[in-house]
Amino acid sequence: MLELDIDILSNIPPEILEAARRVELYFARQNIKKWTLGKLQSRDETYLKDMQLAVRHEADCVEAAKERIAELERTVAAKQAKIDALMLEFCPDEMTAEQVEEWGQHQSPAQDPIAPNEAQER
């Protein structure tokens, strides 16, 4: 079979073989360009997806950090309120004017729920 191919090629004029070689090289170069562009495009798409994922992850982390900060602020405020209440109860003379004012700002009217027995008496 190989001999047959060689025989066929030996009967083809050299200028046609050269033209065929050029056409083959042209298409080979085009395929390489397409393959290279395809690889670059694929790489760029992968990079873009990775960056989008990283941005989403960063946004999630920022949101989680904001929630954690708000939770810590509520904890600190609750502990400060407890300290202020204890100071007001056990050593009110040692509280500064700012502490008393801060304590006052966080006070709210007490809810006076009517117990079921009291409601029947009324």
Q: What pLDDT sits at residue 81?
A: 84
- Asked if residues 34 and 42 have their Cβ atoms less than 8 Å apart, the reply is no
- Asked if residues 109 and 84 have their Cβ atoms less than 8 Å apart, the reply is no
pTM to 2 decimal places: 0.47
pLDDT tens string, the chain, 122 residues long: the values are 344 455 555 666 777 767 777 777 777 777 776 766 667 777 778 888 888 888 888 888 888 899 999 999 999 988 888 888 898 889 888 888 888 888 888 777 777 666 656 555 55
Dihedral angle computed from the Cα positions of residues 48, 51, 57 and 58, in that order, rounded to the nearest 10 degrees: -140
How would DSSP label each residue in the chain? -HHHHHHHHHHS-HHHHHHHHHHHHHHHHHHHHHHHHHHHHHHHHHHHHHHHHHHHHHHHHHHHHHHHHHHHHHHHHHHHHHHHHHHHHH-GGG--HHHHHHHHHT--PPP-PPPHHHHHH-
Q: What pLDDT sits at residue 42?
A: 77
Phi, psi of 71 (to 5 degrees): -65, -45
Q: What pLDDT sits at residue 114?
A: 66
Q: What pLDDT sits at residue 3?
A: 47
Q: What pLDDT sits at residue 1?
A: 38
- End-to-end C-alpha distance for the chain, whole angstroms: 115
Estimate to the nearest angstrom the gap between the alpha carbon of 17 and the chain centroid: 59
Q: What pLDDT sits at residue 108?
A: 75
At which residue do the structure tokens 């709210």 appear?
Answer: 108
